[in-house]
Structure 1
Amino acid sequence: MSIANTVRANAQYHSHLLSQLGELDYVPSALENQRPYIGELEAQYKTLKAKLDKSVQKTQKERKEHEAMRDSTTRRLAHKLTGKKEKFEKKASKEERDYVEALEEEMKVRNNLEMNEQMIAEAKATLADLEEKIKTYDHLKRDLADLYNSIFEGPTQEFPRDDEIEQQLRYVEEIYHNVQKRLNNESRVADILGQAEGELRRCNVFMNEALSYSTYDMFGGGGMADMMERNALSNAQNRASTAQMLITQARQLSPQVKSIGNINIAQG
């Protein structure tokens, strides 16, 4: 059988292999990107974990000092008797403020760490999926190579330029691989930025909520309105911090992503 007839006889099988490979073309470059991406996330986890440990220690220290000042009846009475009640109350207020700020910082770091852990879990699940798909991809590539070898191995007088065309194919495949790798990377960046946008939208919701409580407080809402306002502001700061962390992650993957700067929300 001539090569041309052999090609025609295997045309359907060849089309099937190409179709299956086309669906998995993204896998090699995606897998190549995925492992370093997980490494970056895990490095970020270590940094956040160390930061959280320090934040927890600071919160515990500030809480003890705040509670000691708050519950010290003797010291309160002594300051009152010596005419230093105002000084005592000012110091007690500072201790409370320091404790609240430390607690808010701890919650912010804890929130970022939880987001990081979620991203690691998702990235590892994606890695496992890619590792399964690469097996199928490699098997299909071998089947395609076997098909080509069975047809074109040895002298091919009917196709005198097949070696030249094969070299051109390798060159084009290399270009395609690099483009696919970049596409996979930019797709991941787009996903991360989408998550960041969602966090900023939630931040805006909490900011509006805080504004509502603040307005209510101005018209006699009392301590409950003030507490709800602070809670909303704290939630807004957490969402903003998570968005910043996500954008930092995106910037590590793509130089096209610009910084949005620090978002510091006054806590009322």
Structure 2
Amino acid sequence: MLFPPSYGESVLIPRFRTRPYETPSPTTYINTDVCTFTEIAMADIRTRILEAADAHISLISQMSDLEHAPFTLEQQSKYLADLKKTLTSLKTELEKLRKITSKERKGHQDLRDSFARRYAHKLTGRSEKFVSKIEKEEREYLDALHNERAAEEKERYLEDTIAETENRVAELTTQTNQYVNLKEQSEQLYKKVFDGPTPEFPEEDQMEVAVQHAKDFFAEAQSRCNSDQEAEKLMFKAEKSVARAVKFCDEALSASSWDVWGGGTVADMIERDNLSKAKSTVSQAQMLLGQAIDLQDAIGPFDTVKVAGGHTTEIFLDNPVSDYEFHKKVKETYVQMRLLHQKVQLELQAQRGRALDSKNNMEDAKAQLAAARGELEKVRREVFERVTGISCSTGTPPAYDAMDSPPALDPDEILVA
């Protein structure tokens, strides 16, 4: 096939050109494309950072002002709870003191105002003893009155302190909500700016991966914790059911012993009624145990208890031999049920330990996730600082001083002598 001259010149002739005029190799073109893409990506993220700089500085500044609020709120909430608990105890003690004061007042007044007693003591020459008794009653009354008034003063102090602390807690709650809202805005801003790979800032990509791993680890730990806690609840219910089944078997065994010695139809009815209840109850327990094992395969295994049973017609055709044979079956059921109960109790204790370990692991994973998120936020702030040249550090607000609030009363101070 013949080609037009123009096509031959553009395609065929370059094959015979000398080396200085050769076209660039394909590899060179690929490298140029990659470098161009990277430069575009770096320019794009820098643009996003610069565009978000003002909003970022504003958020960081506001968050810095409120950063103390969550911790202080937690601290003040505990302080308020302690104050209220102390006030409740004080009110109970104050009621007792008021009764003592009332009793002492009445005794003092009765003795002081008793003309007959005073005259009788005067006639017998024992007036000094009477006066001493009056003074003793008066001292006891005054001591009781002093204790009551001291407790009332403490009550007023606590009520005022509680009112002040409640106002503080309300203020801190508002600040904490604002801080949480700003935190969410900050996370959304970071997500928008740093969405996708950031080759110019590899430390940011590394921390993103670390945070994702921490999230996965926490999700797994939380799932394991939830499963172990649910398994513990199921084991607890199963233990209660097996305990009831043991009780029914015990009552059936007593009725069976009575039947062997001539208990008759009544003993047979009691025996089989309790065995029926035991069978139903242990069946429920086995279902619960199966659900617990599905959640935690370390639980079990458990032996199946075959509850003794017989035909209803045996009640009307019983005899000492059949009664004794059935008594042995009931006794075997009782023994098996006791062994099952012991096994369930041991497994319940073991599962409680696993649930506690799972909870601790979840808390550790939660702390690791929080630390990873904090480190990622720190890295992103540093990236903002490098790109914009503006420091994101606005200074840390002064730490909350617990002495700013009035101290709670020591519990021992409530017990007035």
Tell me which interval the TM-score lies in, with the shorter structure as reference length.
0.5 to 0.7
Match 1:170 to one of 352, 357, 374: 374
Aligned: 1:93 with 2:135: yes
Match 2:404 to one of 191, 194, 197: 191
Q: State how far apart, in whole Å, the 2-side matches of 1:91 and 1:75 are.
A: 11
Aligned: 1:54 with 2:100: no
For 1:191, give the aligned amino acid: D
Partner of 1:33: 75
Unpaired runs of at least 5, structure 1: 175-179, 197-244, 250-258
1:1-268 correspondence to structure 2 within 5 Å: 2-165=44-207, 170-171=374-375, 183-184=399-400, 187-188=401-402, 190-192=403-405, 246=409, 248=410
Q: State how far apart, in whole Å, the 2-side matches of 1:119 and 1:158 are.
A: 55
Deviation at 1:153, TM superposition (A): 1.3
Q: Secondary structure at the match of 2:202?
A: coil
For 1:137, give the aligned amino acid: Y
Q: State how far apart, in whole Å, the 1-side matches of 2:89 and 2:126 are.
A: 44
Unpaired runs of at least 5, structure 2: 1-42, 211-371, 379-395
For 1:67, give the aligned amino acid: Q
TM-score by length of 2: 0.42
> Compared with structure 1, are the counterparts of its residues 85 and 122 closer, same or farther at alpha carbon in structure 2 (3 Å cutoff)?
same
Q: State how far apart, in whole Å, the 2-side matches of 1:103 and 1:8 are.
A: 73
Q: State how far apart, in whole Å, the 1-side matches of 2:179 and 2:63 are.
A: 6
Q: Secondary structure at the match of 1:153?
A: coil
Q: State how far apart, in whole Å, the 2-side matches of 1:65 and 1:32 are.
A: 50
Deviation at 1:35, TM superposition (A): 2.2
Q: State how far apart, in whole Å, the 2-side matches of 1:2 and 1:171 are.
A: 24
Deviation at 1:4, TM superposition (A): 1.0
Q: State how far apart, in whole Å, the 2-side matches of 1:173 and 1:70 are.
A: 79
Aligned residues: 191
> Compared with structure 1, are the counterparts of its residues 113 and 171 closer, same or farther at alpha carbon in structure 2 (3 Å cutoff)?
farther
Show CA shifts across 1:97-124 (max 9, x none): 1000000011111111111111211111
Deviation at 1:191, TM superposition (A): 2.8
Over the aligned positions, Cα root-mean-square deviation in angstroms equals: 2.7
> Compared with structure 1, are the counterparts of its residues 173 and 157 closer, same or farther at alpha carbon in structure 2 (3 Å cutoff)?
closer
CA contact (8 A) 2:197 2:205 kept: no
> Compared with structure 1, are the counterparts of its residues 112 and 147 closer, same or farther at alpha carbon in structure 2 (3 Å cutoff)?
same
Q: State how far apart, in whole Å, the 2-side matches of 1:172 and 1:44 are.
A: 43
Q: Secondary structure at the match of 2:198?
A: coil
Deviation at 1:164, TM superposition (A): 3.7
Partner of 1:209: none
Q: State how far apart, in whole Å, the 1-side matches of 2:376 and 2:156 are.
A: 43
Structure whose CA Rg is larger: 2
> Compared with structure 1, are the counterparts of its residues 128 and 173 closer, same or farther at alpha carbon in structure 2 (3 Å cutoff)?
farther
Deviation at 1:173, TM superposition (A): 8.2
Q: State how far apart, in whole Å, the 1-side matches of 2:377 and 2:186 are.
A: 15
CA contact (8 A) 2:56 2:186 kept: yes
Show CA shifts across 1:155-210 (max 9, x none): 22222210445666625989xxxxx9xx53xx11x235xx57xxxxxxxxxxxxxx
CA contact (8 A) 2:198 2:205 kept: no
Question: Highest relative contact order (Cα 8 Å, sep 6+), 1 or 2?
Answer: 2
TM-score by length of 1: 0.65
Show CA shifts across 1:29-80 (max 9, x none): 1122222222211111111111101110000000000111111111111111
Q: Secondary structure at the match of 1:2?
A: helix
What's the % identity of the aligned pairs?
Answer: 36
